Amino acid sequence: MSELKKIRETKNLTQEELAERSGISVRTIQRIEAGTIPKGYTLKTLATSLDVSEKDLLIAEIVKEEIKVEEISLTTENDDSFNISLTKIINLSSLPLAWLPIANFLPPLLIMLFTKNKSQIVKQIISLQIFLAIISPIIFMLIALLKLGSESVMVTMIFLVLANVYIILRNTYEIDKKKSLRYKLNFNFI
């Protein structure tokens, strides 16, 4: 609903009554209420006739235009930068270094930089691997410091590697089926 219509209805005026009061044709009022943005003389006359500021008549129209511009830029960004096969390759490139959590984010990062594929999903993949590269040594050191025995350290190492492999494979499956990630962070490191 246009701002003009809202204001007109709150003042209990019909389109014909507003046309009489302002000297602007009923057809022009109908066009403005249908979405045409009033300008110049028409805008000033309507604002004076309704006893409101010119800004009050335009507020919703400006907001709608800003929302449309944002939606267009978001869809263009997502469509242009999302390549499923390249995204799966970037995700799977972490597998060879999954046993070395400190370096598992390097292959996807390098592929992203060389291919210039900086989509949101690729940033999430790399951010997740960076997070795992940070958290895995911390968990490993805590187990070692607790002195639970060499078996505990080995089991923890194997568990961390298997968890990372599972996350990589599961995310690849989700990319293929749903074009999204199953495991992701709420923030990006990149």
pTM, entire model: 0.54
Average pLDDT, the chain: 81
Burial of 136 (0-12, 13-18, 19+ CB in 10 A): buried
User: Which of 136, 125, 126 lies closest to 102, judged by CA?
Assistant: 136
Q: Say whether pLDDT at 30 is over 60.
A: yes
Whether residue 118 is predicted with pLDDT greater than 70 in this model: the reply is yes
pLDDT at residue number 79: 44
The confidence score (pLDDT) of residue 81 equals 43
DSSP states of 23-79: ---HHHHHHHHHTPPP-HHHHHHHHHHHTS-HHHHHHHHHHHHHHHHHHHHHHHHHH
Closest CA to 91 of 186, 173, 161: 173
Average pLDDT in the 55-84 region?
Answer: 55
Residue type, 65: E
Q: What is the DSSP letter of 82?
A: -
Residue 69: predicted pLDDT? 52
More confident residue, 62 or 170: 170
pLDDT at 101 over 80: no
Exposed/middle/buried for residue 114 (C-beta within 10 Å: 0-12, 13-18, 19+):
exposed
Structure token pair of residue 139: 């968990």
Would you state the pLDDT for residue 70?
54
Terminal Cα-to-Cα distance of the chain (whole angstroms): 41
| 25: nearest Cα among 34, 39, 35, 15 | 15
- What single-letter DSSP state applies at residue 53? -
d(CA 122, CA 103): 17
| Structural domains of the chain ordered from first start | 3-78 (1.10.260.40), 82-178 (no CATH)
Question: Looking at per-residue confidence, does 150 or 17 come out higher?
Answer: 17
Residue 149 has pLDDT above 70, yes or no: yes
Mean pLDDT on 21-50: 87
